[in-house]
Structure 1
Amino acid sequence: MKVPLSGIVPPVVTPLLNRDSLDEEGFEKLVEHILAGGVHGLFVLGTTGEAPSLGYNVRSEVVSRACRQVNKRVPVLVGITDTVYSESVALAKKAADCGADAVVLAPPYYFSAGQPELIEYVQHMVEDLPLPLFLYNMPGCTKIHMDPETVRHLAQLDKVAGLKDSSGNMVYFHKCRELLKDNDDFRFLVGPEELLAESVLLGGHGGVCGGANMFPQLYVDLYNAAKSGDLATTRRLHQKVIEISNTVYRVGKHGSSFLKSVKTVLNLMGICNDFVSEPFHRFRTSERDIIQKLLDSLEV
């Protein structure tokens, strides 16, 4: 990336036809839909993209198709998180060959690493990576919290470009910001869209908002308002984001409901298929009907 990344970088949904096939037409329509909203980048193979549940062939196809279609209109970030070191490196090299701009790495899950082990792991990883790296703090999925001091230490590495924080913990955000206040190039991006306005107003650089798959311009407008200090517009648009969070994302009973809701909305909008990787499944008719009513009532 020629300049430090800021703005809205949606974690792109991975449209699927079945367990091991990409919805190619849907993926193309989704990328264009998101870009039309004025976003500042795309992040493929993240949590919202169901990356850990995708076969390596599908992951590779997503990277190549995304980079080819975007064609440098905005930066493309690629998630390379894996339990296997060599697989992360292989996907990073694939991303570089396809023209991606950076990679994103969360701690390897299953066996939990201590902070010294995590530091050493990233130090080794960056030596093998051909692209800049964004750290990804996602303790809800990885079981590992990337301590602020760990972030400070890793931020000193030349290839580490920033942090995507999905902890939902604003105290953590402030601690990291304070530790790196003298590093102007290090980027802070938040995952939970409910915290986008607050984080940008207080010095963050943008958000990786799942809702921007559905309504990209809403999140771009909110980011721009917060960045410019327009508090009235920020409050109004933030309320719309909270409304989506409190309605659309609350359909369903399980932790997978967010993914199901976003994919259902995209399907109802005629953009892509709503197949969800197992062990999850798409919403049934009853939930789809609720989503449709909510979609009809939302003023976005």
Structure 2
Amino acid sequence: MTFKGELKGVYPALITPFKKNGEVDIAGFRKNIDYVIEGGVSGIVPCGCTGEAATLSFEEQKLLLEVAVDQANGRVPVIGGSGSNNTSEAVELTKYAKDAGATAAMLITPYYNKPGDAGQILHYKTVAEKVDIPIILYNVPSRTGINMKPSVVAELARIDNIIGIKEASGNPAQAAEIIELTRNNKKPFTVLSGDDNLTIPIMSYGGRGVVSVVANILPREVSQMVDCYLKGDFKKALDVYYKLAPIMRGLFIETNPIPVKAAASMMGLAAGPLRPPLTTMAPENQQKLKAMLEALGVLKKPRVAAKAKARARK
């Protein structure tokens, strides 16, 4: 599958469910993919930060990419997370994403090394030249320790197979500047929000959607918000946004993906434990998160309660 026209819509950055023994829960991963696709998302993004890619082995990342492509089965595009702070590793993972059948690859800026502008350009240019697959840049300074400047993004946007950016600097003005510098390019270049709570502001500048954490648990609602905005129904989009605003904040009261995996478990989705060094959500924060989900009416009903109601009806 290739992108037809513009990259836009909602792309959940998928969590990676694990079994109690620490192995990847492939069956659960497949079920979660079906859940978000049935919720109307535009595509899926396995093996990103939300998917705990930093603690996945190469073999696990490759397996998850294969499974994601297989389970999507052409229903939506698969954007494989294939970034690394090692350029040769990023090339290898991106090649594998292509070979596995991914529609595109998303590459985080090189973390820890903290390359300057020239180094960032060299990194992405090298991958783009060596792997013929659509590439989406991913800027998240809070994770990597470096910020990719709009001028750097604008230069990279001229490369044929670099088609967009997940902009998660937390600065809507930076997203606006990227759009300003790339909006008249000969080829399309798309800015997607990398922060759920900044989706509306970034779309107001010309962004076309979001790579979403919230869509792991509420794919239909996030898709409705973005779809309404794209269609010009701004009031409805804002109504949905303000309904989701508390949970958008709630999923970041601890380090992502700790809260979203806790929420997924509460809702009966596949999540399982976190990989160290991430730890279980603090009990007081679990209660806060549970209250938010209860307010949305999306918590999984306990089996005991469901059986009691069934007996009462009899």
Alpha-carbon separation, structure 1, partners of 2:134 and 2:249: 35
Q: Any residues of structure 2 matched to 1:179-258 within 5 Å, and which?
A: 179-183=181-185, 185-250=188-253, 254=254, 256=255, 258=256
Deviates more, 1:226-235 or 1:41-50: 226-235
Report the CA distance between 1:43 and its aligned residue.
Answer: 0.8
Which stretches in structure 2 are left out of the alignment for 5+ residues?
299-314
1:112 aligns with 2:110: no
Q: Hey, what's the Cα distance between the residues in 1 that align with 2:175 and 2:86?
A: 29
From 102, 105, 112, the counterpart of 1:103: 105
1:90 Cα deviation from its structure 2 partner? 1.7
SS of 1:22's partner is: coil
CA distance change for structure 1 residues 249 and 123 in 2, over 3 Å: closer, same or farther? Answer: closer
Aligned residue number for residue 35 of structure 1 = 37
- Letter paired with 1:7: G
Query: How many aligned positions are there?
Result: 295
Deviation at 1:283, TM superposition (A): 2.6
Q: Is the 8 A contact 2:10 2:42 kept in 1?
A: yes
Q: Which residue of 2 aligns with 1:5?
A: 7
Q: Which moved more, 1:96-105 or 1:211-220?
A: 96-105
Aligned match of 1:139: 141
Q: How far has the Cα of 1:289 moved from its partner?
A: 4.2
User: In the TM superposition, what whole-angstrom CA distance separates every residue of 1:8-35 from its partner, at most 9, and x where no partner exists?
Assistant: 0110111112575111221111101110
SS at match of 2:45: strand
The Cα of 1:287 is off from its aligned counterpart by 4.3
Letter in structure 1 aligned against 2:241: H
Provide the TM-score with structure 1 as the length reference: 0.93
Root-mean-square deviation (Å): 1.7
- For the 8 Å contact 1:92–1:130, the answer to whether it is kept is no
Residue type of the alignment partner of 1:294 = M
Aligned to 2:270, which of 253, 260, 272?
272
Hey, what's the Cα distance between the residues in 2 that align with 1:243 and 1:234?
A: 15
SS at match of 2:201: helix
Alpha-carbon displacement from aligned partner over 1:198-236 (angstroms, at most 9, x marks no partner): 222331111011000000011110001111221221221
* Structure 1 unaligned residues grouped into runs of 5+: none
Contact 2:183 2:189 in 1 (8 A): no
3-state DSSP class of the match of 1:267? Answer: helix
Counterpart pick for 2:260 among 259, 262, 268: 262
Q: Note the C-alpha offset of 1:169.
A: 0.5
- Give the C-alpha shift of residue 65 in structure 1: 0.5
Cα contact 1:20–1:58 (8 A) shared by 2: no
In structure 2, the CA distance between the partners of 1:247 and 1:116, relative to structure 1 (3 Å rule), is: closer
TM-score by length of 2: 0.89
Q: 1:138, 1:42 → 2: CA distance?
A: 19
Matches of 1:288 and 1:233 in 2, distance apart? 30
Letter in 2 for 1:88: A
Deviation per CA, 1:58-80, whole angstroms, max 9, x where unpaired?
11111010001101111100111
Distance 1:202 1:19 in 2: 46
Query: Counterpart of 1:151 in structure 2: which amino acid?
Result: V
- How far did residue 92 of structure 1 move? 1.4
* 1:44 to 2:46 alignment: yes
CA contact (8 A) 1:222 1:238 kept: yes
Q: Tell me the residue number matched to 1:151.
A: 153
The question of whether the paired residues in 2 share the 8 Å contact of 1:52 and 1:82 is answered with no
Question: Which residue of 2 is the match for residue 165 of structure 1?
Answer: 167
The match for 1:295 is: 293
- Between the aligned partners of 2:55 and 2:106, the Cα distance in structure 1 is 17
Provide the secondary structure at the position in 1 that maps to 2:127: helix
User: What percent identity do the matched residue pairs reach?
Assistant: 30
Distance 1:216 1:143, change over 3 A: same
Letter in 1 for 2:47: L
Asked if the contact 1:201–1:227 (Cα under 8 Å) also holds between the matched residues in 2, the reply is no
Match of 1:31, SS state, is helix
Distance 1:94 1:248, change over 3 A: closer
